Amino acid sequence: MKMFKVAATQWIGAGLAGLMMAGAVQAGNHGHDEASADIVDTAVAAGQFETLVAAVEAAGLVDTLKGEGPFTVFAPTDEAFAALPEGTLEELLMPENQETLQAILTYHVVAGQVMAEDAMGLESAETVQGQSITITTMDGSVMINDATVIQADIETSNGVIHVIDGVLLPE
């Protein structure tokens, strides 16, 4: 049990970091080894996961996401966060809502490294948060709940990031 708790905590951080990393690899990695940076560093360098990085910091998950892993992170873009109802993000970033923010962020993380090809063969996956996400493949697109994977298989030193166009919200 103790080992699972450590892994779950690491995954929580990985979710946000993964989102951040995906942007870094997508935006600024020209010919460099994508797996040399961890999820958080990759996300920070990307420049398009500023909201995710801020959320990971507010949730206290940076150290977790820099952990050994491996983690699979479904990382929403800044645009995905911007599409949330007005005021939602600001409310989640308040210190008194840290537990809720952690739950949302860890809902974007699956323990282990799940590459896109493997994910396409699954119908669901249990998140570090404890609830399952639904995985569907339709017309060549992979959906995670209601979000579409827009970039897959961004490898990092501690896992893999799949960029999604929506924020996943647990029930």
Which residues on adjacent β-strands are paired with residue 110?
72
Q: Which residue carries 């323990």 as its tokens?
A: 111
pTM of the model: 0.79
| pLDDT confidence of residue 35 | 63
Tokens of 167: 């924020």
- Average pLDDT taken over every residue of the chain: 81
Of 1 and 122, the structure prediction assigns the larger pLDDT to 122
- Give whole-number Cα distances, 166 to 2, 80, 86, 91, 131, in Å: 32, 5, 15, 18, 17
Are 102 and 59 a contacting pair, CB within 8 Å?
yes
Report how far residue 150's alpha carbon sits from residue 77's, in angstroms, rounded to the nearest whole number: 10
Pick from 105, 115, 87: which is nearest to 49 by CA?
105
pLDDT in tens, 32-41: 444 689 999 9
Residue 23 reports pLDDT greater than 70: no
Set out the domains of the chain in order of their start, with CATH numbers.
2-164 (2.30.180.10)
- Residue 46 to residues 21, 30, 49: CA-CA distances in angstroms? 6, 12, 7
Average pLDDT over residues 19-27: 36
List the one residue out of 57, 155, 59, 79 whose CA is nearest residue 113: 155
Distance (Å, whole) CA 84 – CA 108: 16
Reported as a single tens digit per residue, the pLDDT across 44-74 is 888 879 999 999 999 999 988 899 999 999 9
Residue of 76, 70, 71 whose CA lies nearest to 89: 76
Q: H/E element holding 151?
A: strand 147-156
Q: Tokens at residue 67, please? A: 């952990």
